[in-house]
Amino acid sequence: MGAGPAGLATAAVLRRHDVAVRLLERGDAVGTSWRRRYDGLRLNTVRQLSGLPGHRIPASAGRWVGRDDYVAYLEAYAARERLDVVPNVAVDRVEPRDGGGGWRVRTSKGDLDAAAVVVACGAFDLPVTPRWPGLPDFDGAVTHAADYRDPAPYAGRSVLVVGGGASGLEIALLLARGGAAAVDLSVRSCANLFPRQLGPFPLTPLPLTRHVPARLLDAAGAATRAALGRDWPAPLPRAAAGLGTALRRHGMEPVVADGIVAALRTGAVTLRPAVAGFTRTSVRLVDGSELRPDAVVAATGYRSGLRGLVGDLGVLDAQDRPPRGDGGPFRGVPGLTCVGFTPAVTGRLPQLPSQARRAARTVLAALRR
């Protein structure tokens, strides 16, 4: 399920083992989630580590691949691997098939039976907006980052961006550069922040760092911050936990903060505390102050949507996350696996080739049974 990079990678590896694979895609083409992201989006991992099994991203896409180039790569990948992608099919639920092994997949186009199912619908599938007090009464425009495309509609207007994750930081910067009259950035806390590169050297870690103990990742993150200067990333807050500790205990990946630190220091973007609530004409902040923006962009995160799909199968934790989201098998649930759900210090794309191969082994084991 899902014809994004995780689904495409896994399907390609399975086809090389002569397994018939059908990719069910909710959107109308491969890479639907990537197509819908905002103009100016670039990968946070270097091109050389962001490709899928068997085909590299063309060098013409540059070191930091933009959204449109990445979508074009996914299209070409699906075509070269001759993948069977079925668009405009929403999967509602996966359940064991009655009277034997395998699975029944309930979809918007009817039921399908499968010997094995790979869930690759993405950990950032459904936008989440907090239920701030007074939000329904606010007269201004409120848009989730998932629906933000470009700064043109905000030219000459004051905008409040809420959220200290990758989308919030980058959208605030794009708005400031794109002609917004004023840009405020409301941040409650931040993950570990780093630029894309230090001088000429990219800071994308190698995929093997998933085997490195948390304490060593903490030390590596601290050493990198020291190289960036004692005040990095002020005025943005530092993360409460080190790089490895935040990742392993809380699933918090590092975030790229290119340009936004400089924009905050020059006043192009103004840092604000967290949002407490809304009135009809204003946004109340936790320090008691108020803002009167023309528009609000809520970069407040996503959830996976796995609860409705596989929530009855005992494969999710209390946060609706699969403990095995890396292509491995679930105990007592043969023939079902998830790919692309494991947070990584590298970001998720460099992990997909190994996860796709692991998912293929899980599927092949189920087929042998």
Q: What percent of the chain has pLDDT over 90?
A: 86
pLDDT at 282: 98
pLDDT at 64: 96
The three-state (H, E, C) secondary structure of the chain, written as one string? CCCCHHHHHHHHHHHHCCCCCEEECCCCCCCHHHHCCCCCCECCCCHHHCCECCECCCHHHCCCCEHHHHHHHHHHHHHHCCCEEECCCCEEEEEECCCCCCEEEEECCEEEEECCEEECCCCCCEECCCCCCCHHHCCCEEEEHHHCCCCHHHECCEEEEECCCHHHHHHHHHHHHCCECEEEEECCCCCCEECCEECCEECCCCHHHHHCCHHHHHHHHHHHHHHHCCCCCCCCCCCCCCHHHHHHHHCCCCEECCCHHHHHHHCCCEEECCEEEECCCCEEECCCCEECCCEEEECCCEECCHHHHHCCCCCCCCCCCCCCCECCCECCECCEEEECCCCCCCCCHHHHHHHHHHHHHHHHHHHHC
Reported as a pLDDT band with limits 50, 70 and 90, residue 1 is confident
* Residue pLDDT, tens place only, 138-189: 999 999 999 999 999 999 999 999 999 999 999 999 999 999 999 999 999 9
Q: Is 90 exceeded by the pLDDT of residue 209? A: no
* Residue pLDDT, tens place only, 100-122: 689 999 999 999 999 999 999 98
Residue-range domains of the chain with CATH:
5-125+304-368 (3.50.50.60), 129-298 (3.50.50.60)
Task: Indicate the pTM of the whole model.
Answer: 0.93
Reported as a pLDDT band with limits 50, 70 and 90, residue 369 is confident
Indicate the range of 8-22, 53-67, 233-247, 318-332 predicted with least confidence: 318-332
**Higher pLDDT pick, 201 / 205:** 201
- The stretch 246-252 carries a mean pLDDT of 91
pLDDT at 211: 80
- The stretch 342-347 carries a mean pLDDT of 90
pLDDT at 260: 96
Reported as a pLDDT band with limits 50, 70 and 90, residue 208 is confident
pLDDT at 55: 97
Reported as a pLDDT band with limits 50, 70 and 90, residue 325 is very high
Question: Helices 352-368 and 5-16 sit at what angle, rounded to 10 degrees?
Answer: 50
Q: Is 80 exceeded by the pLDDT of residue 4? A: yes
* Residue pLDDT, tens place only, 288-303: 999 999 999 999 999 8
Q: For 17-30, b where at least 16 C-beta lie within 10 A, e where not — what string?
A: eeeebebbbbbeeb
